Chains A and B, each alone.
Chain A
Amino acid sequence: MIDLAWKMLFHDKLRFFITLSGVAFSVTLVLVQTGLFGGLLENATITIEHMGADIWVTSRNSPNLDFVHQFSESNVERVRAVRGVRRADNLILSFMQVALPTGAEETTVVYALEDFAAWGVPWHVSAGDLADLKRGPNVIFDEFARKRFGAFEVGDYREINGQRMKIVGTTREAKSFTTTPLAFVDYQRAQQLQPDLLRGRASYILVKLEPGADRAAVMTELRRVLPHNDVYAAADWAARSRDYWVKNTGIGFNAFLTVFLGCLVGVVVVAQTLYTSTMEHLREFGTVKAIGGSNWDIYKILGKQAALSAIFGFVLGYLPARALEPVIASADLKLIIPSELSLIVLAGTVLLCLLAAVVSFRKVASIDPALVFRV
């Protein structure tokens, strides 16, 4: 079979290139924006994902991981007494001030646990030893903190909330949604750093279940024994934290708007070039009708051209989006383009390009077949 759609498309290479550029631009925009949004959201819950807890006990109505208020640390005893609980520990999460050598102050999010190793956090220690946190006024910063706090090395000292702390290690990939650098401190040390707020108090209780324990039953019991706290499965707590940022701030709408505009640009470019191309090839389409073709034969040509533009445009847009990953990573941002997202964007691109072809379909349907006789 002669593929007229393909031949027509490649016959005018410049027009095809312009169409592809429009589609590729949209695809890159959508992938990068969605990927950045995904990266930000991953940061919002990355510690929840890495913490080996099955259940999180939080303060009442906490909207997300970072916006927390404290409750009595003795609540953990009630949790430990619940059947099916294998281990339960208090976690402190608190914003504290770091004095910089320049005289300025920056904020850090302090994570404090009695036994970090037991919970698998931090998950990527790039220098130092977690055990050193228990050996004095020590702190481990994430490497990202260098962007905000200036250069530091293991062995340097920084003041946190006015107390001199020794940097005994560094981590990688430990980030927060707000981009505030993370610091890891021993549980009791954190309470000493912020005694007014934290003495005798904790931010969360992390719960690990016995193998085979009924999570729902344990959660019901936890809610009963801790009526002034909330109890979440880890995945639900992560989802709640992400939802907060998506729904309660402009970031979700912002991402939606950029994706929408990206799609709009793509549709307009494809619709415009396909329509112009249809107008220029009107006599050819009239000839298709004259020599026995139907409207459907012409729709197939236009539909195939739209689909080919979508697929080639997607590839051309996908490659730069992937190439941007290291550039974005160098700015300490994350671009997450999972294969599911790529497939959705590909399907969306094909669908929108076909939609853009509808304008041309309408034109073709109204072709006066006798135009083939006109000079």
Chain B
Amino acid sequence: MVGPAILAEGITKDFREGQETLRILRGISLSVAPGEIVGIEGPSGSGKTTFISILGCLLGATSGQVQIAGKEVNPKRPSRLADIRRKHLGFVFQQFNLFPSLSAQENVEYALNLKGISGVAARKEAADLLDRVGLEDRKHFLPRDMSGGQKQRIAIARALCGKPDVILADEPTASLDALVADQVLTLFQKLAREDGRALLIVTHDSKVRRITDRVARIEAGMLAA
């Protein structure tokens, strides 16, 4: 891939609340290169989650432009957004968001199915990904039978499905104890460096700085200097 993995220019986002229009993001620009790990910090309500939702093609910006892996994001075409999510993006959430009825292996395999990979190929790739995150002996466990750290590893394995160019992680260590959080961060770092993926981590956790190349701080909807 030539050029930045994430390119955001002049992003604004307004929400209507009754008669009032609230401007949550006020012209944020950010570029993340392949293999780069960037942290996004800021106080609660500063617009971090709104910003990552826009980068993740889950929310449309009011104005400004977003490119993911060189592809223009047009919020007016939902099917195109789903396509970009499927091909270029992986997500890791604070609450893991695993499917409780699916085993670790099935959670990863289902994500592969949505990306058009099925059958033996999906089974093999899911098993390989779980091996990579160190869950080779927990493949057939349901999420309820696993620890927070193990669940987050499944989520990371799922985010890696289809070899996305960008991984967006929202507070990935917030539900984990210090030791497990540290292991998860190390894993993130390893995966980003090895595969040359851009990794954007929204966090309140100062420990995350250990693995980031740089940190962008959002305050009141703007990037702080």
Residues on A facing B (Cβ under 8 Å): 1-2, 4, 7-8, 10-11, 283-284, 286-295, 297, 369-370, 372-375
Say whether B165 faces chain A, with CB atoms less than 8 Å apart. Answer: no
Contacts of A11 on B, CB cut-off 8 Å? 100-101
Q: Assuming the A-B contacts A292-B82, A294-B82, A373-B170, are A1 and B114 also in contact, with contact meaning beta carbons closer than 8 angstroms in the complex?
A: no
Q: Are A289 and B97 in contact (CB under 8 A)?
A: no
Q: Are A290 and B115 in contact (CB under 8 A)?
A: no
Contacts of B109 on A, CB cut-off 8 Å? 2
Residue of B nearest to A2 (CB): B110
Q: Are B58 and A8 in contact (CB under 8 A)?
A: no
Contacts of A286 on B, CB cut-off 8 Å? 97
Q: Are B91 and A290 in contact (CB under 8 A)?
A: yes
Q: Give the CA-CA distance A375 to B90 in the complex, in Å.
A: 19
Within 8 A of A (CB), among B98-135: 99-102, 106, 109-111, 113-115, 118-119
Contacts of A374 on B, CB cut-off 8 Å? 49
Taking a contact as CB atoms closer than 8 A, the residue among B78, B106, B170 that contacts A2 in the complex is: B106
Contacts of A372 on B, CB cut-off 8 Å? 58, 91, 93, 97
Residue of B nearest to A287 (CB): B97
Q: Give the CA-CA distance A112 to B182 in the complex, in Å.
A: 98
Say whether B86 faces chain A, with CB atoms less than 8 Å apart. Answer: yes
Q: Are B114 and A8 in contact (CB under 8 A)?
A: no
20 contacts between A and B (CB under 8 A): A1-B118, A2-B102, A2-B113, A8-B99, A10-B101, A283-B95, A284-B99, A289-B82, A290-B56, A290-B91, A291-B91, A291-B111, A292-B162, A293-B82, A294-B78, A370-B50, A370-B58, A372-B97, A373-B53, A375-B94
Say whether B158 faces chain A, with CB atoms less than 8 Å apart. Answer: yes
Q: Are A1 and B113 in contact (CB under 8 A)?
A: yes
Using a Cβ–Cβ cut-off of 8 Å, how many residues does chain B contribute to the interface with A? Answer: 37
Shortest CB distance B44–A (Å): 11
Say whether B19 faces chain A, with CB atoms less than 8 Å apart. Answer: no
The A interface, classified by DSSP as helix, strand, loop or mixed, is helix
- Most A CB within 10 A of own CB, among B56, B82, B86, B111: B82
Say whether B151 faces chain A, with CB atoms less than 8 Å apart. Answer: no
Contacts of A293 on B, CB cut-off 8 Å? 82, 114
Given A284-B99, A290-B56, A373-B52, 12 other A-B residues pairs in contact with their CB atoms under 8 A: A1-B113, A2-B113, A7-B99, A283-B95, A283-B97, A284-B100, A287-B97, A289-B82, A290-B91, A369-B59, A370-B50, A373-B53
Within 8 A of A (CB), among B152-187: 158, 161-162, 170
Say whether B85 faces chain A, with CB atoms less than 8 Å apart. Answer: yes
Question: Contact flags (1/0) for B64-107 with A, using CB distance below 8 Å?
Answer: 00000000000000110010011101110111010111100010
Contacts of A290 on B, CB cut-off 8 Å? 56, 58, 85, 91, 97
Q: Are B101 and A287 in contact (CB under 8 A)?
A: no
Taking a contact as CB atoms closer than 8 A, the residue among A2, A7, A297, A369 that contacts B58 in the complex is: A369
Shortest CB distance A375–B (Å): 6
Q: Are A288 and B114 in contact (CB under 8 A)?
A: yes
- Most A CB within 10 A of own CB, among B95, B97, B158, B161: B97
Q: Give the CA-CA distance A4 to B82 in the complex, in Å.
A: 19
Q: Give the CA-CA distance A147 to B222 in the complex, in Å.
A: 89
Residue of A nearest to B112 (CB): A2
Contacts of B86 on A, CB cut-off 8 Å? 291-292
Q: Give the CA-CA distance A4 to B90 in the complex, in Å.
A: 20
Residue of B nearest to A294 (CB): B82
Contacts of B50 on A, CB cut-off 8 Å? 370
Q: Assuming the A-B contacts A2-B102, A7-B102, A11-B100, are A291 and B114 also in contact, with contact meaning beta carbons closer than 8 angstroms in the complex?
A: yes
Shortest CB distance A2–B (Å): 4
Shortest CB distance B108–A (Å): 9
Contacts of A370 on B, CB cut-off 8 Å? 49-50, 53, 58-59
Shortest CB distance B36–A (Å): 22
Residue of A nearest to B97 (CB): A287
The 10 A-B residue pairs whose C-beta atoms are closest, nearest first, are A292-B86, A11-B101, A369-B58, A370-B53, A2-B110, A7-B101, A287-B97, A292-B114, A294-B82, A373-B49
Q: Are B93 and A4 in contact (CB under 8 A)?
A: no
Q: Give the CA-CA distance A7 to B101 in the complex, in Å.
A: 6
Contacts of B158 on A, CB cut-off 8 Å? 291
Shortest CB distance A17–B (Å): 16
Q: Give the CA-CA distance A266 to B154 in the complex, in Å.
A: 39
Q: Give the CA-CA distance A8 to B106 in the complex, in Å.
A: 12
